[in-house]
Structure 1
Amino acid sequence: MGAFGRFWLADAISMFGTYITTVAVQVIAVVMLSASATEVGVLNAARWLPYLLFGLVAGVIVDRCRRRPMMIGTDLGRAALLGVIPALAAFDQLSMPALVAVVFGVGALSLFGDAAFQSFLPRIVERDRLAWANVRIEQTSSVAQTSGPLLGSALIKFLGAPLAVLADAVSYAVSGILVATLRGKEEVPERVERHLLTELREGLRWVYRHRMLAPLSITSHARFLFTAMASTAFVPYAVAAVGATGLGFAYAAAGVGTVLGGAVSLRVHRGIGLARTIVLGRLLVAAGFALVLTGDWAVFAGQFVVGLGLGVEGPHDVTYRQQVTPDRLQGRCNATIRSFNWGMITIGAPIGGVIGDLVSLPTAMIVGGTGMTVAALTLLTSAFRDADLPSHPR
């Protein structure tokens, strides 16, 4: 198995484990610890809070260090942290503060590990094959998103939620071992500048003063903001329309759509170009939320279209920034964009909830879909409309 094969396998194993834990932690909070809705909200926010607090600093640190050891360390660190949950449960010492602390710690390690992951990929994959590699990773993520929660539910039923979390801990340990087997010498980055604020500004300038990256990044932030608004309203809307079980199948439909979107994304790019491919993907996501509102069973079709759009768009914006960004700035570029993207979720989600409560759930989805559409069309009118990637292998 080649370097990318082991790299991809490590990511796939840990990704399946992550979706298992997503279900298991919720069950632990609600069933074992009798958490209130507010406490569940705090638990969910803890996963993304590190991106807001440390995201920009993480990019600087990733660019200062060798990335393979960082990936190994964050994988093994997450394995150890997740192992705390079943250990505390075994001694009847598990509490909501402890659960929140573990989730926050895993989120912080994921921030550094993910930034290193995206920055390391260009070192083991030729640049004209980056789009192909990112499509494969995106498809794996979609399969994990679809089947991981189902696998998690089965493990919870037969082993209990704490031991299901232990399965994720094992997956991170296996991932770390696989990454450790990657061959190739990785030089320590040259120590030219070690002033934190200077390095932060350099990363921000690269992203937001770049003629192509700036409009791509800013419209991506807007997409995450408005998608979070629509997604937040979608959950209670779908539960009312098709029930809690139906919601699970709707998410599965989205996963199937993402797999299919990823399968055709390279062909779409060859046919209509990079900018139009990304815009098409974002418009499909907006259309999917609109389709949801046309009837109860349209919940499934709408989510399929949402997933299709994510699959069409997903690999290409990541590939583009990997290709145009110098290696010494890869960590800061990826961490900056991801931090602001995920940060938009913490803003958009409550706004969507407030609109849903004060006006209506369909209104929140319409506002979100409209915002996504405007952001997508804005990208097409920017300098990014002329951007493209090198040709890929067929």
Structure 2
Amino acid sequence: MILIKDGRILTMEGKCYEKGSILIENGKIKEIGEHIVAPLDASIIDASGKIIMPGIIDAHCHLGMWEDAIGFEGADGNEMTDPITPHLRAIDAINPMDRTFKEAYEGGVTSVATGPGSANVLGGQFAAIKTYGDRIDDMIIKDPIAMKCAFGENPKRVYHDRKQAPSTRMATAAILREILFKAKEYAQKLEKAKEDSSKKPAFDMKMEALLPVIKGEMPLKAHAHRADDIFTSIRIAKEFGVKITLDHCTEGHLIADAIKEEGLSAIVGPSFGDRSKFELKNLTFKTAGALSKKGVKIAIMTDHPVIPLQYLPMCAALAVKAGMDEEEALKAITINPAEILGIDDLVGSIQEGKDADIIIWDGHPFKLDSHVDYTMIDGKVVYKRK
């Protein structure tokens, strides 16, 4: 057992303990309160004067897919030979030995959704993982967690250079519609085959990968920066009755009312950096706050390695500087991404029964001179600042 005692606890569950303690047993949070009596065999972490919060979560990154300081040999996030690759799985490319995992958990990031890039119309399957470990199979929270799809400049640029479709936004949308229609038809044939096995279609790995999407069990994770691309992603999702998350959502602040009306969440970022392409011309840290004030559930993301994961708190702090409510910004890197990803039963807040993914700071996480003193993942101290 471990007892973290006498720290200021930001639970992300609507309650804050000014001087609270947390009892951890078998990797889970057993008890939270102001006066917890430590069992005799418990290890004690004195958090007096410190801030305790749940492990930070990035809802969209490419951790382990593009290895650090390598180049082509470590670039495994985009299979740029076919615009439709739903059968690719992130877990087959993630290298947890990459040093950016250590940098992530030392910076307080304990869980991420990581997966393929945006070169393809359908890029493959994202996974939710913990950031500590040396074998990806032991780090998985949920796999697959989403199906990556992409709109806008990236797929058209990649395949224009190859002189094949899509080289326009029209073709991107048409290709996505076609594959979703085929997946829907494939699912219908499988259903009919339950009564007559002779009607069972030939095995198709791409179609099999899309069945959870068609059945509404797994969302499309839509890379869309520009407002028109955001609307196209919504249009197609509604046509096929599939779930969707709006990732990047760079021009979301320009269409905040519409996003709220659609009842969708937004995973916003990366907002730190230059406007490297036309669809980023309206890039601003104001987006997250503008959407949040309309009542849209927001997660803030790094798109690592675009922004290294350890700087996710800084990105949230810059959103606050641009007008976002501080409490909402904290939620945007903890409980909100957990809820958007559908893993909030395990992570995202300090609550009895959840995984003991806990960060202890020596100051407020939005202050640049604050340090992570402890990182705990599944109740294990994986980092302690000397």
Give TM-score, length-normalised by structure 1.
0.23
Larger radius of gyration: 2
Tell which has more relative contact order, 1 or 2 (C-alpha 8 A, sep 6+). 1
